[in-house]
Structure 1
Amino acid sequence: MEIAKTLDQVRSKLEPSILPHELDEAMDKIARIRTLKKDMNVVVLGHNYMTPDVFYGVSDIIGDSLGLAREAAQTTADIILFNGVHFMAETAKIMSPEKTVLIADMEAGCSLAESITAEDVRMLKKQHPGVPVVTYVNCSAAVKAETDICCTSANAAKVVNSLDSDEVLFLPDAYLAKNVALQTDKRIISWEQGKCMVHEQFTKSDIDAARAQFDDLVVISHPECDTDVTGASDFAGSTSQMERVIAESGKQNVMLITECSMGDNLRSVFPKKNFISTCQTCPHMKKITLDKIIYSLENMVHKVEVDEDIIRRGRRAVERMLEIG
């Protein structure tokens, strides 16, 4: 997905997904935020699950959480505003500790990240001494700091298979762990409490019902879903991979098994495709709004702070992952 560089381009991007009477009001707020960004030397990161007005309207860099943090580390901006959830903003702070990192709403959390604490990881390491710990990037900075290496949904199996061990502690996503277990000979020890409140809602019956209704259908799911869902899909992968799969598919109908705004944002990229969705929405992602972004920037509030020791240890886990690719 490409960012919209001008306000006319923004309007064009938003027209497929925003009602006409709401569009003018949104455009006024977007113009205000763009002025603030320029005056304050701010780079705005927009996660794929943001609503289209935030995603296309004010974002300088768009994508998945780790890709955004990596890109932000390369910018010359003084301030990073992360439009996503809190653990993502923490990852940006880990990668750019010298920059001010803001989030529009400090209460934009994550059920998956909140399912495990650093103390939980220390307990698991005592129970499984010597077993390497892999953490999905969807976790807090404190949890990253307790682990050996991070992974994304796109490279999870590659990271696990790179380790010189027959056993791996894979945290915190239980469903992603199940999907990885199908791609490795290693014994995966998972954290059963860890699930995404959005992706755990999807079922195989959702896919079966869509296939019964639409012949010309490609089903793309996120590996935070259970294996019965990913197994019934044509492709399972990260949000950064979904656009490529749609582009390569000749199918007219697209069913995205992931957070609802992903489909809203891709409609502008593929206007001739018919997107089918059960529309499960993340309430935490939806806490980020244009009004809250304006308030955060104008008042320089909601700064994301991470302890220096956690930054050092968490960055090591992320960098080890980046070395693998």
Structure 2
Amino acid sequence: MSLKENILRLKKEKNAVILAHYYQTPEIQDVADYVGDSLGLSQKAAETNADMIVFAGVHFMAETAKILNPNKMVVLPDLNAGCSLADSCPPDAFKVFKEQHPNHKVITYINCSAEIKAMSDIVCTSSNALKIVESVPKETPIIFAPDKNLGHYISKVSGRDLVLWNGACIVHEAFSIDKLLKLFQENPGSKIIAHPESEAHILDVANYIGSTAGMINYVKAHPKEKYIVATEAGILHKMQQEVPNTLLIPAPAQENNTCACSECAFMKVNTLQKLYDCLLNESPKIEVPETIRKQALIPIERMLELSK
């Protein structure tokens, strides 16, 4: 049997569900039960009847699934699948930051650790960040963490003055504006679509700004255009499946790399072999201390309720 066939066999035997992020490799996306963005993945994790959740993504995503499913087994193909954005917000430093801004509502982007979520009033994703911010009364001051670029963008479109934590995603800060504009000139009539974790100068030239799911839906609604896509290049696999006859070009990164795009090394740590191994061995398991889990669950459930 092939690796893929063995994965599907084990998944059935163990009543497991495979959840994968758009930034995973194509072969992992193709064996997943569901491929989506952070909001969709959280919703699927909350409603699954599976005994075992195999999370093909990064650590904070699997952690969120465990917070929502304390009695289910949650495994991650490789514990080294971390997140530069989550790492940019250490809990001890954020605790001090929060204490410096009393009486503020704390909204945290889901790309953070369970400890940060436990210090939050409500969690958001790029799909619902604007809606979450606008749900807070205008007279109530807000801390938004950890992504400063997403925070700047939400502040701009909402008109709210947000207190921002100085964190960022290295993948979305890797785009070269000079190379992007050159690529745009070389592809007349193309449209630039960008994820709001990108820097302001990238967002300023974008025709559409949205979450990974939002970008896919936008392209599906306008399939006759050609697009330069400014987010992690893994999204192109699912996007191209949705619009097979549409030209999709990854936005160029500053560094000279083999794909001439921006890739997340953490996302690409997971492989099909590791996915099989973690299903077979039921390891590595994700565990969250119960006190942290209970505190982190509250802001996540608030987000899910507001996102219905």
TM superposition score category, shorter chain reference = over 0.9
The aligned counterpart of 1:316 is 298
Alignment of 1:223-302 (within 5 A): 223-277=196-250, 278=252, 279-302=261-284
How far apart, in 2, do the equivalents of 1:287 and 1:220 lie? 26
Q: Is the counterpart of residue 132 in structure 1 residue 132 in structure 2?
A: no
User: In 2, are the aligned partners of 1:204 and 1:232 still within 8 Å (CA)?
Assistant: no
Report the residue type matching 1:39 in the other structure: E
AA in 2 matched with 1:50: Q
Q: Give the Å deviation of 1:166.
A: 4.5
Task: Return the alpha-carbon distance in structure 1 between the equivalents of residues 127 and 133 of structure 2.
Answer: 12
Output the TM-score relative to the length of structure 2: 0.93
3-state SS, counterpart of residue 163 of structure 1: coil
2:183 corresponds to? 210
* Residue of structure 1 aligned with 2:88, choices 115, 136, 139: 115
Match of 1:39 in 2: 13
> Does residue 181 of structure 1 match 2:155?
yes
Question: Cα deviation per residue 1:257-276 (whole Å; 9 max; x = unaligned)?
Answer: 00011113322222211111
On the 8 A contact 1:166/1:186 being kept in 2, the answer is: no
Match of 1:69 in 2: 42
> Alpha-carbon deviation of 1:214?
1.1
Whether contact under 8 Å (2:194, 2:231) holds in the other structure is yes
Aligned partners of 1:89 and 1:105: how far apart in 2? 11
Maintained 8 Å contact 1:207/1:232 = no
**Would you say the 8 A contact 1:66–1:88 is kept in 2?**
no
Partner residue of 2:28?
Answer: 54
CA distance in 2, matches of 1:93, 1:170: 24
Rounded to whole Å, the distance in 2 between the matches of 1:53 and 1:304 is: 23
Contact 2:46 2:68 survives alignment (8 Å): yes
Q: Within the alignment, does 1:78 sit opposite 2:17 as a pair?
A: no
Identity of aligned residues (%): 39
Alignment match, 2:256: none
Structure 1 unaligned residues grouped into runs of 5+ = 1-26
Q: What is the aligned counterpart of 1:191 among 165, 168, 174?
A: 165
CA RMSD of the aligned region, Å? 1.4
- Structure 1 residues 184, 73: CA separation in 2 closer, same or farther (over 3 Å shift)? closer
* Counterparts of 2:184 and 2:264, CA distance in 1: 25
Residues of 2 paired with 1:323 and 1:293: CA distance? 31
TM-score normalised by the chain length of structure 1: 0.88
Structure 1 stretches of 4+ with a deviation exceeding 6 A read none
Give the length in aligned residue pairs. Answer: 297
Instruction: Confirm whether residue 220 of structure 1 aligns to residue 193 of structure 2.
Output: yes
Instruction: State the partner residue of 1:16.
Output: none
The 1-side partners of 2:222 and 2:180 are apart by 17
Matched residue, 2:79: 106
In 2, distance between residues paired with 1:300 and 1:154? 31
CA shift at 1:95, angstroms?
1.2
CA deviation after TM superposition for structure 1 residue 69, in Å:
2.5
Q: Deviations for 1:219-248, whole angstroms, at most 9, x for unmatched residues?
A: 110000011111210111101111110012
SS of the residue corresponding to residue 220 of structure 1 reads strand
Distance in 2, matches of 1:67 and 1:311, equals 20
